[in-house]
Amino acid sequence: GGWTIVFARAGEQVRVYDAAGDIRDRFMEIVAGQLDDLKTYDLLDEPAAILGRIIICDNLGEVVEGARFIQESVFEQTDVKPEISNAIGPLLSDGAIVGSSTSGIPSSAFTEHVVNRERFLVTHPVNPPYLAPIVEVVPAPWTAKDAIDGALALMTAVGQSPVLVRREVEGFILNRLQGVLLREAWDLYQEGYASAEDIDKTVSEGLGLRWSFMGPFETIDMNAPGGVADYAERLGPLYHSIQKSRTDPQPWSAELISAVDNERRAKLPMEKLAERRKWRDRRLMALAAHRSKQASE
């Protein structure tokens, strides 16, 4: 649904297919609700016009035929990805590109024996993609250059912010960065340094405020009088010492997960989780509206 909004909002005609009939039946209602929320925050003008560019299809052939770009968003499973890729490959029109929403599985793991494999790559979004514009574009070793260039150009044209990952790496860039932060958050919690809520607060009320408009390199460039080189001289030894203190990473244990889960459920009961997700999306909408206004000034 998120990708559908991205493309249809940008004026593209979008065909949608899901193997589950109940999802196809509810799809337009779900997207309509998301569009209404975006309208509330002045992030789009005419929800009805966007809905009019979306067609629900009854089979895979109908949705792929004649398409210049196909976004595959099936389950994050190595047995499912090859199946859908093998089904899509023979149906592609000349020059068509297939992007996968996978969060960490490289396309070489599920397209090696696919017909037209040179047209496949990863286009990994942040959810929901119509609010968080970053897209990781990750080619396989055999992805054609014009497919890479085409994916980058299309993502830019529809309002996303593509990042080219030059070669495959587990987790790509976003989840490797996120993974380092998560690993340290779990370790700090397990070792009793702070509650899960206070660790979250350190990001939401601190680091995250800067990270909403600048990345780690620009952040440190601003944080020392002499820029990056000065920052590295001042604090490089500290970060090196921190890195050396984490030499034996362990899996998150069942006991650790249970402890954090219990703390989160005390803060947010399971029955209110969906409501909180909607709150998150509305906060992202407000932030997107602010960023849009700032860009125009």
The pLDDT assigned to 291 comes to 84
Nearest-angstrom CA–CA distance, 111 and 226: 47
The pLDDT assigned to 184 comes to 96
The residue with tokens 């809905």 is 51
The pLDDT assigned to 296 comes to 62
Nearest-angstrom CA–CA distance, 228 and 220: 6
Farthest-apart Cα atoms in the chain, separation: 61
pLDDT, one tens digit for every residue, the chain (297 residues):
999 999 999 999 999 999 999 999 999 999 999 999 999 999 998 999 999 999 999 999 999 999 999 999 998 888 899 999 999 999 999 999 999 999 889 999 999 999 999 999 999 999 899 999 999 999 999 999 999 999 999 999 999 999 999 999 999 999 999 999 999 999 999 999 999 999 999 999 999 999 988 999 999 999 999 999 999 999 999 999 999 998 888 999 999 999 999 999 999 999 999 999 999 999 999 998 888 888 765
- Give the global pTM: 0.89
The pLDDT assigned to 101 comes to 95
The pLDDT assigned to 10 comes to 96
The pLDDT assigned to 57 comes to 96
The pLDDT assigned to 79 comes to 87
The pLDDT assigned to 292 comes to 82
Q: Where are the alpha helices (DSSP H) in the chain?
A: 2-9, 21-40, 47-51, 60-64, 80-88, 108-111, 145-157, 174-190, 196-202, 208-211, 216-222, 227-244, 254-267, 273-296
The pLDDT assigned to 297 comes to 59
Question: Contact at 8 Å (CB) between 39 and 285?
Answer: no
Handedness of CA 192, 193, 194, 200 (dihedral sign): negative
